[in-house]
């Protein structure tokens, strides 16, 4: 028995580290995974499944402002406690909540960070774009930030949905620059948020626009929402490919790491 407890504690200790590294979603992921984001006022909290060592909660809340999801005036959501690694709990009062529909229930998308209490018009929020580090921020500022991310993700997904399936459909197979026939090439679709371009990448894409618009980048962006489709066709121009290679040679530039086509 002692052994079991020990190994359990051991597991828990390490999974805590793993939680921090692998499970807690950053701002963009948390917003993307949420079906429902709102400013709510929690009016009642009950503990459920009290037979267990840990106690999950169920909260009732009135909805003050919806940022993402369906119109609902009152919601009930589940607050799993995740004992003993990531204890989460809520109290009565104003919160921003990040919830998803799961098994006919609403529950948090990001462990304890799914329920963020609003205190004195402040709320804990990400200190900058690429971090999980939190700091107290002005509540209005946070709402603006969330709204902006939601809009950005919506636009990106609309674009991606239109372009999915086959990217050669409805397009001419003649290169607009070199006026030669292009070949259909199968490339991988990469889903998720692409990291911001660095200088090397911007330089490469500027040159691409001007000298080799239909060169093979080896992959295409598929937007945030992963789909089952892993590959798509694109048109690749043989002259653009030549131009790309000679541009790399004459400028001494390298291809951005993420867009290196497969070497033959
Ligand atoms: Zn071309």
In this predicted model, what pLDDT tens digit does every residue of 232-254 receive, in sequence order? 889 999 999 999 999 999 998 87
Between 9 and 69, the more confident residue is 69
For range 13-22, the mean pLDDT:
42
Residue 170 within a domain: no
Residues 105, 213: one domain?
Answer: no
Average pLDDT over residues 95-102: 94
Write the pLDDT tens digit of every residue in 22-54: 467 889 889 999 999 999 999 999 988 656 666
Does residue 75 register a pLDDT over 90?
Answer: yes
| 205 CA → ligand 1 middle, Å | 15
What number is the average pLDDT over the span 213-224? 85
User: How many whole angstroms from 231 Cα to the centroid of ligand 1?
Assistant: 22
Residues 245 and 146: their CA atoms lie apart, in Å, by 42
**Range(s) of the domain holding residue 215:** 183-259
Instruction: Retrieve residue 205's tokens.
Output: 């894409």
Is the model's pLDDT at 81 over the cut of 50? yes
Tell whether 12 and 95 lie within a shared domain. Answer: yes
Distances (CA, A) of 151 to 28, 100, 145, 148, 223: 11, 18, 10, 5, 14
Do 199 and 138 share a structural domain? no
pLDDT at 84 over 60: no
Output the CA 160–ligand 1 centroid distance in Å: 24
- Tell me: do 30 and 144 sit in the same domain: yes
Compute the distance from residue 249 Cα to the ligand 1 centre, in Å: 18
pLDDT tens, 151-208? 988 877 766 665 557 888 888 999 999 999 999 998 888 887 777 777 888 888 899 9
Pairing between strand 93-102 and 115-117?
antiparallel
Work out how many domains the chain is built from and give that number: 2
Evaluate whether residue 22 is within a structural domain. Answer: yes
| pTM of the model as a whole | 0.56
Distance from C-alpha of 157 to C-alpha of 259, rounded to nearest angstrom: 21
Question: How many other CB atoms are found less than 10 A from the CB of residue 151?
Answer: 10
Look at residues 108, 140, 156 and tell me which one is the last residue of a structural domain. 156
Residues 124 and 229 in one domain: no
Give the distance (Å) from ligand 1 centre to CA of residue 39. Answer: 51
The Å distance, Cα 198 to ligand 1 centre, comes to: 25
Q: Residue 82, Cα to own-chain centre: how many angstroms?
A: 23
Tell me, in angstroms, the distance from the centre of ligand 1 to residue 174's CA.
8
For residue 18, being part of any structural domain is answered with yes
192: CA distance to ligand 1 center in Å?
29
Q: What separation in Å is there between the alpha carbon of 181 and the centre of ligand 1?
A: 9
Q: How far is the CA of 263 from the centre of ligand 1 (A)?
A: 20
38 three-state secondary structure: strand
Q: Per the domain annotation, does 134 fall within a domain?
A: yes
**241 token code pair:** 């490919």
Does the structure show a pLDDT above 80 at 229?
no
Residues 210 and 106 in one domain: no
Q: Which of 193, 168, 194 is nearest to 181 (CA)?
A: 168
What pLDDT shows up at residue 154?
85
CA 228 to centroid of ligand 1, rounded, Å:
31
The Cα–Cα gap between 241 and 214 comes to 8
Cα 215 to middle of ligand 1, angstroms: 7
Residue 91 located in a structural domain: yes
Ligand 1 centre from 247 Cα, in Å?
13
CA 178 / ligand 1 centre spacing (Å): 4
Identify which of 54, 28, 11 has the alpha carbon closest to the alpha carbon of residue 129. 28
Q: Using the predicted structure, report yes or no on whether residue 3 has a pLDDT greater than 70.
A: no
Range among 51-65, 119-133, 141-155, 215-229 rated most confident? 141-155
What is the Å distance from ligand 1's center to 225 Cα? 31
The Å distance, Cα 220 to ligand 1 centre, comes to 18
Distance in angstroms (rounded) separating the CA atoms of residues 246 and 236 = 16
Asked if 97 and 150 sit in the same domain, the reply is yes
Q: Do residues 86 and 196 share a domain?
A: no
- Going from the Cα of 235 to the center of ligand 1, the distance in angstroms, rounded, reads 10
Claim to verify: residue 91 and residue 16 sit in the same structural domain: yes
Q: For the domain that residue 25 is a member of, what is the CATH number?
A: 2.40.50.120
Query: Does 28 lie in the same domain as 138?
Result: yes
Verify that 189 and 141 share a domain, yes or no. Answer: no
The pLDDT of residue 183 is 95
Distance CA 215, CA 140 (A): 45
Instruction: Check whether residue 102 and residue 196 sit in a common domain.
Output: no
What torsion, rounded to 10 degrees, do the Cα atoms 56, 57, 58, 59 define? -160
């Amino acid at each position: 028995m002692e052994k079991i407890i020990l190994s359990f504690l051991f597991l828990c200790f390490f999974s805590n580290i793993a939680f921090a590294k692998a499970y807690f979603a950053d701002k963009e992921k948390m917003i993307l995974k949420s079906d429902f984001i709102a400013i709510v006022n929690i009016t009642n909290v009950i503990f459920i499944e009290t037979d267990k060592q840990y106690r999950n909660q169920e909260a009732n809340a009135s909805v003050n402002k919806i940022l993402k999801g369906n119109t609902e005036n009152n919601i009930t959501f589940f607050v799993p406690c995740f004992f003993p690694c990531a204890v989460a709990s809520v109290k009565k009062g104003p919160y921003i909540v990040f919830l998803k529909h799961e098994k006919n229930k609403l529950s948090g998308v990001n462990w304890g960070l799914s329920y963020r209490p609003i205190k004195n018009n402040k709320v804990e929020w990400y200190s900058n774009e690429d971090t999980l580090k939190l700091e107290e921020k002005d509540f209005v500022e946070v709402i603006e930030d969330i709204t902006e991310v939601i809009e950005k993700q919506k636009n990106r997904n609309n674009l991606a949905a239109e372009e999915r399936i086959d990217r050669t459909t409805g397009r001419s197979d003649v290169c607009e620059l070199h006026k030669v026939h292009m070949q259909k090439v199968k490339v991988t679709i990469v889903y998720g948020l692409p990291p911001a371009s660095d200088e090397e990448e911007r330089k490469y894409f500027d040159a691409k626009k001007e000298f080799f618009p239909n060169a093979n980048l080896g992959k295409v962006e598929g937007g945030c929402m992963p789909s089952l489709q892993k590959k798509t066709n694109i048109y690749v121009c043989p002259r653009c490919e030549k131009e790309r290679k000679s541009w790399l040679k004459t400028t001494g530039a390298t291809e951005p790491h993420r867009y290196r086509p497969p070497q033959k």
